Structure 1
Amino acid sequence: MDDVMRANIDAWEQTLRSSLALAATLDAADWDRPTECPGWTVKDQFSHLVGVERGLLGDPEPEVEVPAFDHVRSDFGAYLEAAVHVRRDVPGPEVAAELADVLERRLVQLEGIDPDGPLLLPNGKEGVYRRMMVFRAMDCWTHEQDVRRAVGRPGNLDAPAAHCLWSILGSGLPMVVARRAKAGPGESVLFTIAGPPSFRSAITVGADGRAVPADPEPAEFTTELAMDLETYVRLAAGRCTPNAVTVETRGDRDLAGRILATMPLTT
């Protein structure tokens, strides 16, 4: 196993163990609290994590008919919901115990997996297993943060998986700026994300209308957006609308508003 694959696995494992430590502190009311992930409670978040990891282990799919929930809007959404719905009558601590078991099984499995083994990534593109573990770390960490906000127990923001999230969602900011927010040629945007960990993305729009990382950076930007890491995660993961968070903006406020309104890159 190469160092990159090991680091990705470590990031994924760290956030799952952090989630399990959090689960041990939850009471009966906590498990039923709604989260910002549409339609899901705290327990549903843990059920989702169990379902994905069991699927990657090759376990049989749950035999359950998923009702027509408002938050289920696609066949893929229904597939993910099956693992959640089949556990809706299962007590939260039992779901956490199942996650602890599946974590150990996955760690054994991963020792024998080829990092360059091809597979379809969650974004619908062909990739390799090394990259899949970046997606798994990001997904697990995003859901851990959903749970922490719901139960009022913040923590683990400065986790290795936060860098995994940025490597995936941060790379989508040029598309948000140009394609979604319709920034024009010659316009530029600076994102500063305060942590730890902290991130920065400077983007310019070329004459062809495509946005790319600014190199060199302009002396002044058309628009600047500054926010803390949790705010960025909530916006980029589609957990809230811009009016629910605080973002400092400078420059073209209309462009800033269009960017914030089209930030979600995952759900």
Structure 2
Amino acid sequence: MPLHPAAPEDLAGLVSAYQATTQAIVDLGRSCSDADFAKETACPGWTVKDQISHVVGLESWLHTGEVPRVDVPAYGHIRNEAGQFIEKSVELRRRMVGQKIVDELETVAARRIAEFSAPGVTLETVVRGPWGPAPVGETLQRRILDIWTHEQDLRHALGRPGNLDSGGAAVFMDVLFAALPRLVAREAGIEPGNVVIIDSTGPVMGRAGVWVEPGDEGKARGIPLFSGIAHDGDPDDVFTTITLSTDCLTRRAAGRGGIEDIHFTVVGDESVAHRVLEHLVLVP
């Protein structure tokens, strides 16, 4: 079942989704008091202000290539070198006033939008990406997914829900559904003979499924359902359908909280559903 609303695929649509989610963070930041900026979020060790600092810092680095020159203490929430690198932009801004960071995000986002919208830029134009040079289309998709995730972190921390039917939400869901065969068969280790269906009730509505079959070297392989790929199936296949909202699905896929923190219903094998949801983490 196709996503509704559909995720943008053209350059103009992706740039619009990027602009919408960065602007949403700016608007949230403009409404924050000092107490709001200090509120803890679902990301360990990060406040509302820290989350905005992270978005500013990463977008600034992707635009200029300049790495902040700052020493990062041995915080408990930093687990690896990537986390140490990411923390630099947050540490650089820890003593800054929250509204100044919001101002910076507005400026950096405008520069990024101009970069993506420049004459001659196409989806295939190679730019700096978080993991190295990558096409604009891929980079925008990944940045929208990450920034929209942090927008939702801010909304949850501030108690201001919204934008669950936005282009950013649709991009997140599109990336998640594309990754579902791997997440079900490899990450969750669901055995062959199972069919798992994820049903999102909205605001972004859609359905994706995976048929698990035996693969090479004894490893299970996930085959996407509803994709036009034919398979014979088996009358003994066990079907498990997990139904949940866009908010619950994306929070779980973002690794925010455990399955006990979301509402979902299951028709089929409860143990399979729980294993899938435990391993349905898309965002590192």
The TM-score normalised by the length of structure 2 is 0.87
* AA matched with 1:187: N
What SS does structure 2 have at the residue aligned with 1:193? strand
Residue in structure 2 matched with residue 22 of structure 1 by the alignment: 28
**What aligned pairs does 1:179-218 form with structure 2 within 5 A after superposition?**
179-208=186-215, 209-214=220-225, 215=229
* AA matched with 1:115: L
Residue in structure 1 matched with residue 11 of structure 2 by the alignment: 5
The TM-score normalised by the length of structure 1 is 0.92
Give me the whole-angstrom Cα distance separating, in 1, the residues matched to 2:184 and 2:114. 42
* AA matched with 2:214: A
The equivalent position to 1:140 in structure 2, one of 141, 147, 152, is 147
- Tell whether the 8 Å contact from 2:194 to 2:212 is kept in structure 1 after alignment: yes
Compute the displacement of 1:97 (Å): 0.5
What SS does structure 2 have at the residue aligned with 1:210? strand
- Tell whether the 8 Å contact from 2:62 to 2:128 is kept in structure 1 after alignment: no
Compute the displacement of 1:126 (Å): 6.7
**1:265 and 1:67, CA in 2 relative to 1: closer, same or farther beyond 3 A?**
same
Compute the displacement of 1:107 (Å): 2.0
Give me the whole-angstrom Cα distance separating, in 1, the residues matched to 2:30 and 2:191. 50
The equivalent position to 2:167 in structure 1, one of 160, 169, 175, is 160
**What aligned pairs does 1:1-267 form with structure 2 within 5 A after superposition?**
4-58=10-64, 60-112=66-118, 113-118=121-126, 121-122=129-130, 124=131, 127-208=134-215, 209-214=220-225, 215=229, 222-267=239-284
**1:178 and 1:136, CA in 2 relative to 1: closer, same or farther beyond 3 A?**
same
The alignment's C-alpha RMSD in Å is 2.0
* AA matched with 1:246: H
Identity of aligned residues (%): 33
Give me the whole-angstrom Cα distance separating, in 2, the residues matched to 1:125 and 1:18. 27
- Tell whether the 8 Å contact from 2:240 to 2:267 is kept in structure 1 after alignment: yes
Compute the displacement of 1:103 (Å): 1.4
Give me the whole-angstrom Cα distance separating, in 2, the residues matched to 1:163 and 1:257. 24
What SS does structure 2 have at the residue aligned with 1:224? strand
Give me the whole-angstrom Cα distance separating, in 1, the residues matched to 2:189 and 2:128. 30
What SS does structure 2 have at the residue aligned with 1:68? coil
Compute the displacement of 1:36 (Å): 0.5
Give me the whole-angstrom Cα distance separating, in 2, the residues matched to 1:11 and 1:58. 22
What SS does structure 2 have at the residue aligned with 1:49? helix
Point out 4+ residue stretches in structure 1 off by more than 4 angstroms.
119-122, 215-221
**1:121 and 1:205, CA in 2 relative to 1: closer, same or farther beyond 3 A?**
farther
- Tell whether the 8 Å contact from 2:185 to 2:191 is kept in structure 1 after alignment: yes
- Tell whether the 8 Å contact from 1:190 to 1:221 is kept in structure 2 after alignment: no
- Tell whether the 8 Å contact from 1:115 to 1:128 is kept in structure 2 after alignment: yes
- Tell whether the 8 Å contact from 2:41 to 2:157 is kept in structure 1 after alignment: yes
- Tell whether the 8 Å contact from 2:126 to 2:133 is kept in structure 1 after alignment: yes
What SS does structure 1 have at the residue aligned with 2:214? coil
Give me the whole-angstrom Cα distance separating, in 1, the residues matched to 2:52 and 2:238. 42
C-alpha distance after superposition, 1:91-147 (max 9, x if no partner): 11110011011112222222234431235754x587411111111111111100000
| Count of residues in Structure 1 that have an aligned counterpart in Structure 2 | 264
- Tell whether the 8 Å contact from 1:9 to 1:137 is kept in structure 2 after alignment: no
Give me the whole-angstrom Cα distance separating, in 2, the residues matched to 1:74 and 1:181. 23
* AA matched with 1:153: R
* AA matched with 2:199: T
Give me the whole-angstrom Cα distance separating, in 2, the residues matched to 1:38 and 1:6. 34
Q: With CA pairs under 8 Å and 6+ residues apart, which has the higher RCO, 1 or 2?
A: 2
- Tell whether the 8 Å contact from 1:190 to 1:223 is kept in structure 2 after alignment: yes
